[in-house]
C-alpha cells in the first residue's frame, strides 16, 4: 500500500522571548508551572518511546513553524535506509541534506562518538584540545589551507569567512569592503550569510529600510562579464574589493556546476585587487563531488573555504579554512565559538576522515555518481515531457522537472510514495544526495523507485 503524502506549510507568529506574555493558549499547552516572584516547578520531559503518534501534536504546540514538514516520522536508520514509526522503510537519498555521509548508524562513527563521550565531550577553547588539533591538521594536509577555525554549522563557517574578508580588507586600509557573491547562491540563514545569499525571496522581512547587511554585491554565476562588472562597481566610489565568495557547485540554486574559466577569472581578479577568493564547500565538500573538495573540480586554489554538513557525518560541526595572510588575520578575541571544535564534534570529524580513507569512499562516489547520471539520463530520454537536463558532480546530482503541470516537490512526494526519499533544489530540480557509501544495488533501487514515481505522475 502506498503512503499518501501531504506537505505541511504553516505560518506562526511568535512573540519575543524577552517580553513573553502568557495567553490562555500558552498557559493551556505549557507544562512549566511558574509562580510570580517564585521559582519554576519542573516537570519531567516526555519519554520519546511513549509519544506514539502524538509527536506531531507536540510539534504543532511547541515547535516554531520554520519548516514545512512531510507527514513522516523517522524512528531509526541503518546504512542507506530509514525506518518510520509506522514500520515502513525508505531508501534515503537525502542523507540529512548531504550531511550523513556515512549513512545511518555507522558502527565506526558510533564507536568513535561513544568512546569520546566516555572520555570528555566538551571543554572550553581556553585550553588545548587534541582532537581539534588532529582534525585541523587533516583538513590542512588534505587541502591548500594553513589553518582552520571551528564552529557549529555552515552558516557560522561562512560568517567567519565574511568576517575574515572584512578584517583582511580593513588591514589593507579599505573602510568600505565589498564581497561579491553569485545570483542564486545560498550561504546560510544568519544575517550576513543571508545577505551574501543572492536570492531575494530569503531576504523578505529581514532587512532594514529594504536593505540587508551592506557591503555585498552580486554577479551572474558562470558569467565572466557580469563578474568583471561587479568587481568594477566594488572598486569605485571609495569602495574596495574584499572577496569573491562562490559555491563550486550551486546546490540550492538548482545543482549548477561551476565553470573552470569563470573561477579562473575570479582567482585572477582577486589576485589583481588583493582580495580573497572564498569557496563555500558546505554542501559540495567532504567527498560529495567525487573529490574531497568541490573546488578541485575547477583547478582553483581558494584563500578561504568553508565546510560543515558531512564534516561530522551528522554531528554538528563547521570549519573555515584559510591560507597565507588570511590564515593569520584573526587574532585572540577577534572571533570565537563556545562549542566550536569541541572534543565530541572533532572526534566525529576524525572518524569520518578515517572512514573515507580506509574504505576508498571517493572511488565509490565517482562510480555511483556515474551510475546515477547514466540512469537519470535514460529516464530523461524515456520521459522527455517530464524530465530534462541531468547535472552535477559525484553524488550531488539533480534532474530538471520540465513538465508544466508537475513540480519538483510533487515528484519528491511521489518518490516518497515509492519508498524513496529525495529533496528539491531550486524551483524545478529534483536532487539526489545519498550517503557516500551507497552501493551499486542500492543505486539501481533508487533509480527504479524514481522511475515508478515519474511514471505515476506522467500518467
Could you tell me if 95 and 101 are in contact, meaning their C-beta atoms sit under 8 angstroms apart?
yes
Q: Is residue 100 domain-resident?
A: no
One domain, residues 423 and 352: no
* CATH number for the domain harbouring residue 400: 3.90.1150.10
Q: What one-character DSSP code corresponds to residue 125?
A: T
Tell me the pLDDT band of 68, cut-offs 50, 70 and 90: confident
What are the tens digits of pLDDT across the range 296-354?
Answer: 999 999 999 999 999 999 999 999 999 999 999 999 999 999 999 999 999 999 999 99
In total, how many domains does the chain have?
Answer: 2
Intra-chain end-to-end CA distance of the chain, in Å: 19
Average of pLDDT values for 360-369?
98
Domain boundary among 358, 388, 406: 358
- Sequence length of the chain is 459
* CATH number for the domain harbouring residue 191: 3.40.640.10
Is the model's pLDDT at 8 over the cut of 50? no
pLDDT of 15: 35
pLDDT of 58: 85
One domain, residues 287 and 179: yes
pLDDT of 36: 59
- Domain of residue 446, residue span: 75-92+361-458
Average of pLDDT values for 11-27?
37
Average of pLDDT values for 164-182?
98
Domain boundary among 358, 392, 408: 358
Of 102, 80, 296, 306, nearest to 192 (Cα)? Answer: 306
Distance of CA 436 to the CA centre of its chain: 15
Residues with Cβ < 8 Å from 357, sequence gap 6 or more?
Answer: none
One domain, residues 211 and 251: yes
Distance in angstroms (rounded) separating the CA atoms of residues 380 and 38? 66
One domain, residues 132 and 82: no
Q: Is residue 11 domain-resident?
A: no
| Sole residue written with cell 586554489 | 301
Whole-number mean pLDDT of the chain?
A: 91
Of 176, 199, 177, 204, nearest to 188 (Cα)? Answer: 199
Residues with Cβ < 8 Å from 364, sequence gap 6 or more?
Answer: 436, 437, 438
- Label residue 58 left, alpha or beta by phi (over 0 means left) and psi (-120 to 50 means alpha): alpha
Average of pLDDT values for 217-227?
98
Rg from Cα positions in the chain:
23
Could you tell me if 294 and 280 are in contact, meaning their C-beta atoms sit under 8 angstroms apart?
no
Distance in angstroms (rounded) separating the CA atoms of residues 206 and 209? 10
Amino acid at each position: 500500500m502506498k503512503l499518501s503524502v501531504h506537505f505541511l506549510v504553516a505560518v506562526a507568529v511568535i512573540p519575543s522571548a524577552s517580553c513573553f506574555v502568557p495567553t490562555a493558549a500558552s498557559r493551556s499547552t505549557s507544562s512549566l508551572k511558574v509562580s510570580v516572584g517564585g521559582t519554576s516547578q519542573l516537570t519531567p520531559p516526555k519519554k520519546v518511546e511513549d509519544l506514539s503518534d502524538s509527536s506531531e501534536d507536540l510539534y504543532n504546540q511547541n515547535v516554531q513553524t520554520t519548516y514545512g514538514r512531510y507527514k513522516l516520522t523517522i524512528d531509526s536508520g541503518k546504512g542507506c535506509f530509514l525506518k518510520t514509526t509506522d514500520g515502513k522503510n525508505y531508501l534515503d537519498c537525502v542523507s540529512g541534506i548531504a550531511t550523513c555521509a556515512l549513512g545511518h548508524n555507522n558502527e565506526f562513527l558510533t564507536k568513535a562518538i561513544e568512546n569520546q563521550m566516555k572520555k570528555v565531550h566538551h571543554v572550553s577553547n581556553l585550553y588545548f584540545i587534541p582532537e581539534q588539533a588532529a582534525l585541523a591538521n587533516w583538513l590542512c594536509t588534505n587541502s591548500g589551507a594553513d589553518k582552520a577555525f571551528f564552529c557549529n554549522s555552515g552558516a557560522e563557517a561562512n560568517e567567519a569567512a565574511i568576517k575574515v574578508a572584512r578584517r583582511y580588507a580593513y588591514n589593507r586600509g579599505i573602510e568600505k569592503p565589498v564581497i561579491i557573491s553569485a545570483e542564486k547562491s545560498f550561504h546560510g540563514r544568519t544575517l550576513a550569510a543571508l545577505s551574501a545569499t543572492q536570492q531575494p525571496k530569503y531576504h523578505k522581512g529581514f532587512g532594514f529600510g529594504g536593505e540587508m547587511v551592506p557591503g555585498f554585491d552580486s554577479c551572474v554565476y558562470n558569467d565572466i562579464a557580469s563578474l568583471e562588472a561587479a568587481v568594477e562597481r566594488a572598486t569605485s566610489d571609495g569602495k574596495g574589493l574584499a572577496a569573491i565568495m562562490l559555491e563550486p557547485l550551486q546546490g540550492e540554486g538548482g545543482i549548477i556546476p561551476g565553470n573552470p574559466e569563470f573561477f579562473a577569472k575570479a582567482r585572477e581578479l582577486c589576485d589583481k585587487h588583493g582580495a580573497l577568493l572564498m569557496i563555500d564547500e558546505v554542501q559540495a565538500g567532504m567527498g560529495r563531488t567525487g573529490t574531497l573538495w568541490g573546488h578541485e573540480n575547477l583547478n582553483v586554489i581558494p584563500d578561504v573555504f568553508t565546510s560543515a554538513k558531512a564534516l561530522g557525518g551528522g554531528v554538528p560541526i563547521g570549519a573555515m579554512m584559510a591560507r597565507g595572510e588570511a590564515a593569520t588575520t584573526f587574532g585572540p578575541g577577534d572571533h570565537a565559538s563556545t562549542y566550536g571544535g569541541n572534543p565530541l564534534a572533532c572526534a566525529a570529524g576524525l572518524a569520518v576522515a578515517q572512514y573515507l580513507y580506509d574504505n576508498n569512499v571517493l572511488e565509490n562516489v565517482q562510480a555511483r555518481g556515474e551510475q546515477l547520471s547514466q540512469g537519470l539520463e535514460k529516464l530523461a530520454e524515456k520521459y522527455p515531457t517530464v524530465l530534462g537536463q541531468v547535472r552535477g558532480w559525484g553524488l550531488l546530482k539533480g534532474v530538471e522537472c520540465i513538465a508544466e503541470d508537475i513540480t519538483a516537490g510533487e515528484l519528491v512526494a511521489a518518490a516518497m510514495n515509492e519508498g524513496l526519499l529525495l529533496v528539491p533544489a531550486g524551483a524545478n530540480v529534483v536532487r539526489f544526495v545519498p550517503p557516500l557509501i551507497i552501493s551499486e544495488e542500492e543505486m539501481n533501487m533508487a533509480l527504479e523507485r524514481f522511475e515508478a514515481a515519474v511514471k505515476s505522475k506522467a500518467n
